[in-house]
Structure 1
Amino acid sequence: MPKQLIVIEPRKAGFKEYVDAAIQEDQVKVKVEYAAPKRGTELMDFRNETPNLVDAYMDEWKAYMPLKYKPERFGGWPLGNQWVGIITEVGTSVLDYRVGERVCGYGGIQETHVICAVDNYYLLKMPQDMSWKSALCFDPAQFALSAIRDARLRVGDRVAVIGLGAIGQLSAQLAKLAGASYVAVIDPIALRREIALRTGADAAFDPASQDVGLELKKATNKLGVDIIIETSASEQALQQSLRGLAYGGTIAYVGLARKFNGGLDLGREAHFNNAKIIFSRACSEPNSDYPRWDWRRIEETCWDFLCTGRLQCDEIIDPVVAFGQSVEGYEEYVDQHPDKSIKLGVTFV
């Protein structure tokens, strides 16, 4: 029987066998070749740290409200965010897909997927020469592009990107594509800084050993950078963002933050420098540029950039582990030692 990667208890993954349902007329079956988990929200769930276990964001109220029904037990749900695979069966009503096509979709890390293939935008056909690693960066690319747009980056702007996970790496590349004259990247992990420099960043700083805000001022003749894309959700990073930002500049805050416990001092640079903080999230609708832009346009733009190779993703999916080692790989590289990876890849081939 095929297996899927699931959460068993807080910070513990495992395998679960499942039975593939017979495909319906509007469905296809896909044999998965590669997959990847999601960091932010999925990791908070895995660690049992998500606020959604007690409260949940209610769109009607635009606020967190107490949950009426709480889960009886923890665990049992699949881990994983996206996958790439080959179609092996096609339902009788499916006209736009055929056996042998490679596709990318959303879903858990498991050996097969049975998925609707009629009017399903999220079953994405991959060009023959497209890297599977590029396809698995579709989700983080959306949040990176949204941050660049929400920050109102203009040609010639100086930019800093804090936090070099997948979203940060792609934000740095997109800033260059958008016409930034200078892109600095900040992360305590040397490998992440090196990858960002290889893919176009102009300078890199280590917040563990450098006064990042001051370094950004030094690099810009004391002016500071016009835009900061903050993906780490660290209060220390936000403090350094306010220190290194130009007067009147913009911080696009992308990371999913936990409750701050101290260290953020808004009586310092923030009080004097007229900073603007935009909380950026690709899937919050309506988009700030609605109706010209919405989430679907962001998705379509990102997929085009990934298909055509304008975003470099080969070093972002790192490391890659075999599916049989994905329990240990998830616990090691996603949960316990995220400093050893950027975005974990899982291979089934």
Structure 2
Amino acid sequence: MPREIVTRDGTSFRFREYHLDALGPNEVRVRVQFAAPKHGTELQLITGSSFERKEWHPELRMFLPRPTPAEPQAPAERPERNIGNMIVGVVSEVGSAVTRFRPGERVFGYGPIREVHQAPEDKLRPLGDLSEVDAVCVDPAHVAFVAVRDGNIRIGDSVAVFGLGAIGLMVVQIARAGGARKVFAVDPLPMRRAFAERHGADRALDPNTCDVALEIKRATGNKGVDVSIETSGAGRALHEAIRCLRQCGTVVHVPWGPKDCRDLNLSEEFHHNRPTLVGSQAWSGWENPDRSYPLWDHERAYQTTIELFCAGLITGAGVVTPIVSFEDAPEALVAIRERPETTIKFGVRFGGHD
């Protein structure tokens, strides 16, 4: 039986065998060759998101309190869940009604880190000219692309990017490709700052060694940036993203969180400088149309993101690091949690494929 990687709490990982259902007429089976998780989003799902604490009401588009049980209940043990965000592989079998793919073609799409993936054909895309590392970066790049558009970044603008994980580093590249005149990048980890400076940032700042908002103000003639994009989910980062803005500038907030807002003070620069705070969420599952709909929709934004990779305007090379074998992945995931300075986006390579 094929294996997948699972975890209960994000502190330990193991292999688990799983069963594949019979192939449906519109389904495709893929032998996975390369895969990657999505660190921030998956950590939220593992450690507990708003959906566990409250109920989402789709008509009201509000979170509401969950009904109180009649009897006190002991906390349920978290179930094991698989991890992973995107996969690249080769088609091994197709259903009787499949028309888009044939066995032997290479494809990519959303899926967990497992040896064999099965999905409807419309959930997969041909790999084409994309490299494996670019393919697994399409999801964070799409989030970044929408964030840049949500900030209405135009040629000549100055931009600050807070949090240099995969999404933040894609924001740096896309903002520069879109015409930003100055790009500042902020993150405490040296590996991430170094990548940002090689791929579009004019300056990368460590928030643990300086007042980054003041440094950005000074570097922009005491004015501040036109747009700041926050991707880390930290309260302090969101506060600094507000502080470094030009008067009436725009903050684009991308992640879940912050859960802890002790370092966010809306009675200071936010109150005095009148910024616009924009929530950015690229996933079509939240049923949020693109802000430029109908000119832009989810598919156009996603396909344009792929084209940016193919044109060489953005890259995942150097973002996906380290890359380990599937056999070593459970142990490596633990090590990366303990030493975040060694990674940006984790990649897993599978052996034994043609």
TM-score (norm 1): 0.93
The count of residues paired between Structure 1 and Structure 2 equals 343
Contact 1:282 1:298 in 2 (8 A): no
Task: Using the TM superposition, give the Cα deviation of residue 220 of structure 1 relative to its aligned residue in structure 2, in angstroms.
Answer: 0.7
SS in 1 for 2:63: strand
Aligned pair in 2 of structure 1 residues 53, 336: CA closer, same or farther (>3 Å)? farther
Task: Using the TM superposition, give the Cα deviation of residue 329 of structure 1 relative to its aligned residue in structure 2, in angstroms.
Answer: 2.0
Q: For 1:161-202, what per-residue CA distance to the aligned partner results, in whole angstroms no more than 9, with x for missing partners?
A: 110000000001010111111111111111101111111211
Distance 1:331 1:44 in 2: 17
Q: Tell me the equivalent position of 1:309.
A: 312
SS in 2 for 1:324: coil
Superposed, which structure 2 residues align to 1:104-183 within 5 Å?
104-117=108-121, 120=122, 122-127=123-128, 129-183=129-183
Q: For 1:3-48, what per-residue CA distance to the aligned partner results, in whole angstroms no more than 9, with x for missing partners?
A: 00112345332211123333233222111001011122211222x2
Distance 2:206 2:25 in 1: 54
Moved more, 292-301 or 67-76: 67-76
Aligned pair in 2 of structure 1 residues 13, 162: CA closer, same or farther (>3 Å)? same
Moved more, 281-290 or 269-278: 281-290
Whether 1:289 and 2:292 are equivalent positions in the alignment is: yes
SS in 2 for 1:153: coil
Moved more, 171-180 or 305-314: 305-314
Contact 1:10 1:75 in 2 (8 A): no
Superposed, which structure 2 residues align to 1:1-349 within 5 Å?
1-9=1-9, 11-46=11-46, 48-67=47-66, 73-117=77-121, 120=122, 122-127=123-128, 129-283=129-283, 284=286, 285-333=288-336, 335-349=337-351
Task: Using the TM superposition, give the Cα deviation of residue 261 of structure 1 relative to its aligned residue in structure 2, in angstroms.
Answer: 4.4
Moved more, 306-315 or 170-179: 306-315
Moved more, 275-284 or 244-253: 275-284
Task: Using the TM superposition, give the Cα deviation of residue 279 of structure 1 relative to its aligned residue in structure 2, in angstroms.
Answer: 1.1
Distance 1:133 1:225 in 2: 31
Contact 2:228 2:242 in 1 (8 A): no
Task: Using the TM superposition, give the Cα deviation of residue 318 of structure 1 relative to its aligned residue in structure 2, in angstroms.
Answer: 0.8
Distance 2:56 2:186 in 1: 31
Q: For 1:143-162, what per-residue CA distance to the aligned partner results, in whole angstroms no more than 9, with x for missing partners?
A: 10111111111110001111
Task: Using the TM superposition, give the Cα deviation of residue 72 of structure 1 relative to its aligned residue in structure 2, in angstroms.
Answer: 5.3
Distance 1:124 1:150 in 2: 26
Contact 1:55 1:64 in 2 (8 A): yes
Contact 2:290 2:297 in 1 (8 A): yes
SS in 2 for 1:207: coil
TM-score (norm 2): 0.92
Q: For 1:233-280, what per-residue CA distance to the aligned partner results, in whole angstroms no more than 9, with x for missing partners?
A: 211112212221111110101121132241222222222211111111
Distance 2:43 2:109 in 1: 20
Aligned pair in 2 of structure 1 residues 14, 100: CA closer, same or farther (>3 Å)? same
Aligned pair in 2 of structure 1 residues 130, 286: CA closer, same or farther (>3 Å)? closer
Contact 1:41 1:50 in 2 (8 A): no
Task: Using the TM superposition, give the Cα deviation of residue 86 of structure 1 relative to its aligned residue in structure 2, in angstroms.
Answer: 0.5
SS in 2 for 1:100: coil
Q: Which amino acid aligns with 1:43?
A: L
Distance 2:310 2:125 in 1: 11
SS in 2 for 1:113: strand
Structure 2: give runs of 5+ residues left out of the alignment: none
Distance 1:63 1:340 in 2: 38
SS in 2 for 1:345: strand
Task: Using the TM superposition, give the Cα deviation of residue 67 of structure 1 relative to its aligned residue in structure 2, in angstroms.
Answer: 4.8
Distance 2:51 2:324 in 1: 30
Distance 1:78 1:260 in 2: 27
Distance 2:131 2:252 in 1: 29
Q: Which amino acid aligns with 2:309?
A: L
Distance 1:315 1:10 in 2: 24
